[in-house]
Amino acid sequence: MAIVSKAVPVPELVPVKRALLSVFDKTGLVDFAKALADRGVELVSTGGSYKALKDAGLAVLDISEVTGFP
């Protein structure tokens, strides 16, 4: 994704360790999630977004695994 690949590192920013991905329109979701995962970001998702990421072979946690709520 152009937005991610052109990002300029800024030393004073805290690195992202985990991202919650939950979208209605799944267009570009897998590519965006892959870019995050390639940078070591843990993926967390809900419902249909979770299924789309899991079906694409990405390591993703269901939000209920993080919150402890179904």
What domains sit in the chain, N to C, each tagged with a CATH number? Answer: 17-64 (3.40.50.1380)
- pLDDT, tens digit, for every residue of 10-60? 678 788 999 999 999 999 999 999 999 999 999 999 999 999 999 999 999
pTM: 0.79
Calpha distance 49→68 (Å, rounded):
19
Query: Which run of H or E residues covers position 35?
Result: helix 29-38
